[in-house]
Every structure is written in C-alpha cells, then in structure tokens.
Amino acid sequence: MQGTSVTGTANPLVAQYTISTTGAATVSIEFGPTTSYGFQTSSQAIPAGGGTAKIFVAGMMQNTQYHMRADMNTSSGQSFDDDHTFTTGAIPPALMPQMQVTIPPGQQPTPGIQLVSFSGEAFAIDTMGNIIWYYNNPTGVAPYLVKLLPDGNILMGLNFTGPPASTGIREIDLAGNTLRELDLDTLSQKLHTAGYNLNLYSIDHDVLLLPNGHLLFIVSNTRVFTDLPGYPGQTTVVGNAVVDVDQNNNPVWVWDAFDHLDVNRHPINFPDWTHSNALFYIPDDGSILLSMRHQHWILKIDYANGNGAGDIIWKLGHEGDFALLNSDSPADWFYAQHDANIIGPALTGNFQLALFDNGDYRVLDDGGDTCGTTGQPACYSTSAIFSVDEADRTAQRGWTNQLPYSFWGGSVQQLTNTNMFVNETAPADLGANTSRVSEWTQQTNPTLLWQMQFNNHTAYRTLHMGSLYPGVQW
C-alpha cells in the first residue's frame, strides 16, 4: 500500500476514497457512523504491478461524520487500511421530501433501500426514511426515472426544463458526474442521418441498458391523418416508437407503432394514441415487451436482439390475443397499466407478469360500460400478477392487491423473498402531489409490512434494492 486519501465530491453525501497499492489487490470500502462500520461498497480490482483504485462511497446521511477504511485482499491475504473520517454536507432544504414511514406492529420490512424518482429529483432512502443519496442538477435537469446499472452507475430518464425544454437520457456515477447523454435534438439528427423518418415529440417513460451496451428506449412521435372516422379534417396523432442506439448513441433498430397497429383503435384519450410506458427485455428469445397504456395492452415484439422484423407476436389485455381464465368479466383484465415486468425464473412459455393496473376506464361488462361513469362504480387500482401461457394464449389474474384509485404512474416489483413492493402515484385517498410505496406479502389477503408516504411529491416509479452497490446487501 502506497497511500490513501478521502475527499469530497460534487455530491455532499458522497466521498471518494483513493487507495494505491504496489501489487494486485481487490479493494472495497467499509463505512459507518462508528468504527464498527456496518456498510460496504462494491469491490474494485487493482491489476498486477499495482495501481490506484478510486471508489465512491455512497449511502450516508446528511450532516453526519462517518468512519471508513479500505478492505484489501491480495495474494498475501486480507488487510485493512487505517480508519478515516468524512463528514457529509447538507441537502438543500427546498429539495427535501416530506416523508412518513409506517411499520405495522410485529412486522419487519425487507432490508435494503428505495430508489425513488420524483418529477424533479431522485433519492435513495432507507427503510426508516433516511435519505442516503440524492441527485439534483441545478442546470434544469429533472430526472423522472432512475435505475441502478450492473456496473454501479445510474441510468436516468430526464426532462430538461430548459431553456429550451427537452427530454433525454443520462448515465451518471454515484457522485453525479455525467458519463453518457442523449437528448432529443441529437437523437432526431442521428435518426434522420440513418434514414429513419420519425417526427419525434419526446424521449420518455422507460430506457433499458442491454447486455451489449446498447440503449433501448421509448420515444413519442407524431403523424398527421386526414378524415379519420369521427375526426374530420386533419388530426395530429401521438404514438410511440422504440429505438435501439449503440454505444455511440447511433440508432441501429427502430420499431414504430404507426407501422404495426390500427390508428382507429383508440380505447382512451385519443389522439394520445398509445402512450407506452414500460419496456422489458427477454434474453431467452431476444424479444421485448412494450406496455401500451392507452391501448390497455402489453405487446410482445420480434426484436431478436436488434435483428428482428418488429412483428407483433402477441397482444395481452382486453380485446387482445389471450383468453382470460377463471373470469367472466372484462374488469379482471388490467387497464391503463404501468411497469409491466416478468417475475420468476421463466421468461417465456408459461410465465408470471407483474404490473400496476391503474384501472382508468376499466371495462366492467360486455356492454362496454366503464368505471367512474354515470351510474357505474368508481374506478380502483390493483397491483397484480398474471399467469400467462404463450402457447395456449391464455392468461389468468393471480395475486391481486386492490388499492385506492391511482390514475397515473405506479410500479410493482417482486422482491427476492417473494414479497411485493408497490409504488402508488397520487392515490385517491391521499390526493394530488402525493405518493405511497409499500411492501406486502404475496398472499390471497396481502399483509402490509412497511409503508412510506410522500406528502409533497409524486413518484412515477420506485425500485427496492439491496444497496447502492450491485450485489451488496445492507
């Protein structure tokens, strides 16, 4: 070991621990409020011949002194650096969410953290409601979607509040340094150069980092139609496309809903025609799932890892390609859904699909009556799991947790212990500009284990993770 140092970063809750060695080593950092530490980062390898590791230490509360030391493993065994201290700074008071944590008597939440994306900031919050990481860029960047990547960096969907107002994608490290970025204007130019004719409106709702380093994401685009049935004259219709860009942000594959679906099918909110909001990649066959909120459908698309023709393999949902088992009511489908994701080991064939079923315009009967209209019951939302059989084209609603009506946003995640983690955006019992995230047992009558309520923020999607470091459990 040649030397160590601990310094601050642009994020007041994140330190940089620098350590040099004369030989090969694997290094991680232990940290905590005392010399008992209790938390650890991911490890970083120093090659043969020695070198320097620079490790971001994140997961600390504001205005608090922390102890930290390096844990080194070499061919000679394990050794530890001397203890160092670092005092975190303050989060700007105007950014602080108003939180309330509830743990019912006798219950214990799953250990870990919550990565919450609001309309303007992103936070990592522990189960007791302590903020241990945040992101806010003062140059008019508002993240609405935040994901932890396998290498420990963070991927975000952004609204650039301007001027000029725009949308985009950004990858950052834990200190908030921008590593990769793509904005709407740049994407439009690159699509045009590559020969794709899309009239882009925004980059929005979801983005995936694929195993090959490409980004796959949703864009909104428009087309003008003349004299559509019921819409005389010209109508500008907003649809969606899915774009695959390589490591240099050059587009290599595009799927456009206008080329594959009938624009005259529009169950809700036309001319905002499709309003897609979630992507899920299936490595088993290279296909993707696309959640189309305003069609009440989830599509499986022939992506074939960027070589597919883009054909729609099937449409899941009301008036789609599947029969709904053990139900004689269309109300048991999902409506205006968010965050469709496959859970469990099987990704194709017979699999389990989790989603947040917002319930907007839920069809109640074969006559087409919908919730919330005159003489009909009020709308409600559910977090749900559907069993899907691709071969037989059947689906069945399984685990269901009926919730107060949440007309937009939301997410559902199965944890490693099979408990269900649920995000509700502006639920009716709390009102506008609120959110609630909670953990439930996966039982016929779900038991609430933990709940966090936000009284001044709307969370579009919230993820539960073991820590801020992939593969590390706090």
Of 26, 54, 87, which one is at a domain's C-terminal end? 87
State the pLDDT at residue 166: 85
92-137 residue pLDDT tens: 998 899 999 999 999 999 999 999 988 788 999 999 999 999 998 7
Give the chain's mean pLDDT: 96
The answer to whether residues 56 and 173 belong to one domain is: no
Q: Where are the alpha helices (DSSP H) in 296-339?
A: none
- Give a yes or no: residue 471 inside a domain: no
CATH number, position 22: 2.60.40.10
The answer to whether residues 216 and 105 belong to one domain is: yes
Q: What is the rounded CA–CA span in Å between residue 232 and residue 391? A: 41
- Give the domain extent around 83: 3-87
The answer to whether residues 19 and 108 belong to one domain is: no
Q: What is the rounded CA–CA span in Å between residue 388 and residue 205? A: 24
Q: Is the pLDDT of residue 85 over 80?
A: yes
CB contact at 8 A, 462 and 454: no
Q: Is the pLDDT of residue 318 over 70?
A: yes
State the pLDDT at residue 301: 98
The answer to whether residues 270 and 177 belong to one domain is: yes
- Give a yes or no: residue 474 inside a domain: no
State the pLDDT at residue 237: 98
The letter for the amino acid at 146 is V
237-290 residue pLDDT tens: 999 999 999 999 999 999 999 999 999 999 999 999 999 999 999 999 999 999
28-48 residue pLDDT tens: 999 999 999 999 999 999 999
pLDDT category at 162 given cuts 50, 70, 90 is: low
- Relative to beta strand 323-324, strand 394-403 is parallel
The answer to whether residues 239 and 99 belong to one domain is: yes
- Give a yes or no: residue 470 inside a domain: no
User: Nearest to residue 141, comparing CAs of 161, 119, 115, 167?
Assistant: 161
The answer to whether residues 38 and 172 belong to one domain is: no
The answer to whether residues 216 and 360 belong to one domain is: yes
Q: Is the pLDDT of residue 1 over 60?
A: no
The answer to whether residues 163 and 265 belong to one domain is: yes
Q: Is the pLDDT of residue 213 over 60?
A: yes
Count of structural domains within the chain: 2
CATH number, position 311: 2.120.10.30
pLDDT category at 409 given cuts 50, 70, 90 is: very high
- Give a yes or no: residue 454 inside a domain: yes
Residues in the chain: 474
Of 87, 118, 149, which one is at a domain's C-terminal end? 87
Quote the tokens at residue 44: 């970083």
Quote the tokens at residue 315: 């449409």
Question: SS3 of 343, please?
Answer: strand
State the pLDDT at residue 161: 75
Q: What is the rounded CA–CA span in Å between residue 398 and residue 443? A: 10
Of 87, 112, 130, which one is at a domain's C-terminal end? 87
User: Nearest to residue 176, comparing CAs of 122, 117, 131?
Assistant: 122
- What is the percent of the chain where pLDDT is above 90? 91
State the pLDDT at residue 137: 74
State the pLDDT at residue 136: 85
The answer to whether residues 82 and 196 belong to one domain is: no
Q: Is the pLDDT of residue 163 over 70?
A: no
